[in-house]
């Protein structure tokens, strides 16, 4: 069997200059981000609905269009998360064909970052790095620490000092060195650029960023496959660095080019927290550039004030005829609760942002109720329980006696008893 390897290399987004394959994220001529480009013809015939269906039930079923080095043997079953019909949430917000792509349950660390880290670390090994790391707003830290442990790589991870406790613990438990930096994410990221050069470390979202970013395409492939090889009308996606939303579109374009789906102009809608909304602000202004902001929001996983892929994301959203919106911290907390109550999915602050923005887009009429819309839920609520602090008070305890319980439940929630009696009557009949 011919073991033809997919041809890919780094190219500059702006000027098109080629860089081969190396740990590098920006063009030396124009400083624009580098992006992995494929020779799509080299995979025609090897990337089909059939070859994909014959692959494993994880992101490696799409490995022909992922930048993984020759000889890399995929091991972790990352991704292939559920795409669920969200009828209840749809009813609440006036959407007839609403789906949730649920990366709150991604393996191994419960966010979509598991996808990007697995692709980045495959390359870190091939480039010979023995220490890896990242600058992170939390989820990336968790995933890098976990996957480095499994691969036997040393990990050094830098985060803003004010990160949620659960995200810090979820990094340290894997034995990674975690360094809290006095500053916001943008300070941390700049420092990481210097560190990566100084010590020759492989930082997944710095010098390995072009490879890392390709991992996000798997969200797009999965959405198309799980819709029965059809594209939705709209995608609503949270934005931090602005990478994920662009890569979902890239995935759709590749599927169209290779004939796996019918061509369709999918609209992309970006979601941010108002306290850090440089990309949604740019879209609303009609800009193709970003005015950096100083983040101030509890949606820390989205709190990147100077997003690397922000200009490209803003431009892309406008090209597709989509839109971007941002919501307050109060609204995002309601969004968390809304998704949990309607669909039984507990998401983190970023998912609260995405849910609240989706509701607003329907209310504004930017998305109409008969269209098919996929909402990308990217992280798990158990990591940001601080956001809900004070929402649910611990009630007084009750004696272990039926009479005591009966008195209590009638006082606090008499409606519950009503339904209980009905079911009992039905059972006896
Ligand atoms: C990192 C992250 C995002 C945004 O990703 P970008 O590709 O940087 O835009 C969205 N949601 C969650 C939960 C994240 O951790
Ligand atoms: Zn360039």
> For the chain, which residues score pLDDT lower than 70?
1-6, 419-429
Report how far ligand 2's centroid is from the alpha carbon of 375 (Å). Answer: 33
Separation of alpha carbons 367 and 379, rounded Å: 24
DSSP secondary structure of 11-29: EETTT--EEESSS--B-TT
Residues within a 6 A CB radius of ligand 1: 111, 113, 139, 238-244, 301-302, 348, 350, 378-379
- pLDDT at res. 420: 52
Separation of alpha carbons 83 and 229, rounded Å: 13
Any idea which ligand is nearest the CA of 381?
1
pTM confidence score: 0.94
Query: Cα 164 to the chain's mean position, in Å?
Result: 18
Report how far ligand 2's centroid is from the alpha carbon of 26 (Å). Answer: 8
Separation of alpha carbons 210 and 31, rounded Å: 14
Any idea which ligand is nearest the CA of 17?
2
Decide yes or no: CATH 3.40.50.1100 for domain 8-75+113-212: yes
> Atom of ligand 1 at shortest distance to CA of 138?
15
Report how far ligand 1's centroid is from the alpha carbon of 184 (Å). Answer: 16
- pLDDT at res. 163: 85
> Atom of ligand 1 at shortest distance to CA of 379?
13
CATH number for the domain whose boundaries are 83-109+216-388: 3.40.50.1100
Pocket test for ligand 1, best of 33, 301, 304, 387 (most atoms within 8 A of CB): 301
> Atom of ligand 1 at shortest distance to CA of 238?
10
Report how far ligand 2's centroid is from the alpha carbon of 420 (Å). Answer: 67
Pairing state between β 177-181 and 154-160: parallel
- pLDDT at res. 164: 84
- Which residue's alpha carbon is at the smallest distance from atom 11 of ligand 1? 378
Extents of the domains making up the chain: 8-75+113-212, 83-109+216-388, 395-429
- pLDDT at res. 419: 59
User: Quick count: other Cβ atoms within 10 Å of Cβ 398?
Assistant: 13
Same fold, 8-75+113-212 and 83-109+216-388: yes
Pocket test for ligand 1, best of 116, 135, 302 (most atoms within 8 A of CB): 302
Any idea which ligand is nearest the CA of 279?
1
> Atom of ligand 1 at shortest distance to CA of 247?
7
Per-residue model confidence as pLDDT tens digits over 221-246: 999 999 999 999 999 999 999 999 99
Any idea which ligand is nearest the CA of 301?
1
- pLDDT at res. 6: 67
- Which residue's alpha carbon is at the smallest distance from atom 5 of ligand 1? 240
Separation of alpha carbons 345 and 347, rounded Å: 6
Secondary structure string (H, E, C) spanning the chain: CCCCCCCEEEEECCCCCEEECCCCCECCCCCCEEEEEECHHHCCCCCCHHHHHCCCCCHHHHHHHCCCCCCCCCCCCCCCCCEEECHHHHHHHCCCEEEEEEHHHCCCCCECHHHHHHHHHHHHHHCCCCEEEEECCCHHHHHHHHHHHHHCCEEEEEEECCCCHHHHHHHHCCCCEEEEECCCHHHHHHHHHHHHHHHCCEECCCCCHHHHHHCCHHHHHHHHHHCCCCCCCEEEEECCCCHHHHHHHHHHHHHHHCCCCCCCCCEEEEEEECCECHHHHHHHHCCCCCCCCCCCCCCHHHCCCCCCCHHHHHHHHHHCCCEEEEECHHHHHHHHHHHHHHHCCCECHHHHHHHHHHHHHHHCCCCCCCCEEEEEECEEHHHCHHHHCCCCCCCCCCCCCHHHHHHHHHHHHHHHHHHHHHHHHHHHC
């Amino acid at each position: 069997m011919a073991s033809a390897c997919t041809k890919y290399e780094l190219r500059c987004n702006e000027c098109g200059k080629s860089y081969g394959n190396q740990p590098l994220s920006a063009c030396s001529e124009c400083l624009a981000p580098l992006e992995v480009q494929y020779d799509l013809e080299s995979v025609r015939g090897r990337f089909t609905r059939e070859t994909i269906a014959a692959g494993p039930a994880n992101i490696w079923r799409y490995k022909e269009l992922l930048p993984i080095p020759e000889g890399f043997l995929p091991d972790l079953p990352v991704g292939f998360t559920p795409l669920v019909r969200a009828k209840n949430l749809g009813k609440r917000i006036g959407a007839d064909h609403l789906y949730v792509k649920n990366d709150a349950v991604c393996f191994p660390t419960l966010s979509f970052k598991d996808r990007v880290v697995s692709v980045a670390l495959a390359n870190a090994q091939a480039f010979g790095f023995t220490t890896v790391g990242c600058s992170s707003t939390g989820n990336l830290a968790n995933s890098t620490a976990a996957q480095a442990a499994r691969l036997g790589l040393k990990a050094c991870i830098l985060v803003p000092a004010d990160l949620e406790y659960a995200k810090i613990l979820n990094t340290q438990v894997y034995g990674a060195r975690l360094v809290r930096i006095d500053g916001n994410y943008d300070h941390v990221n700049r420092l990481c650029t210097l560190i990566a050069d100084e010590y020759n470390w492989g930082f997944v979202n710095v010098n390995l960023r072009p490879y890392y970013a390709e991992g996000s395409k798997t969200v797009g492939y999965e959405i198309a496959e799980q819709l029965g090889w059809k594209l939705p009308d709209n995608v609503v996606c949270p934005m931090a660095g602005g990478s994920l939303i662009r890569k979902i579109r890239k995935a759709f374009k590749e599927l169209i080019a290779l004939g796996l789906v019918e061509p369709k102009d999918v609209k992309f809608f970006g979601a941010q927290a108002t306290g850090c909304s440089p990309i949604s602000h740019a879209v609303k202004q009609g800009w193709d550039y970003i005015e950096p902001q100083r983040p101030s929001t509890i949606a820390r996983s989205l709190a990147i004030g100077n997003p690397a892929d922000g200009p490209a994301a803003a431009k892309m959203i406008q090209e597709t005829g989509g839109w971007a919106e941002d919501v307050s911290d109060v609204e995002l907390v309601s969004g968390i609760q809304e998704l949990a109550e309607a669909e039984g999915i507990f998401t983190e602050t970023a998912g609260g942002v995405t849910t609240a923005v989706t509701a607003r887009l329907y209310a504004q009429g930017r998305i109409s109720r008969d269209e098919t819309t996929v909402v990308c839920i990217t992280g798990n609520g158990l990591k940001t329980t601080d956001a809900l602090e004070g929402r649910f008070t611990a009630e007084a305890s009750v004696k272990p006696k039926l009479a005591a319980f009966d008195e209590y439940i009638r006082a606090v929630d008499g409606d519950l008893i009503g339904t209980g009696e009905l079911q009992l009557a039905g059972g006896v009949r």
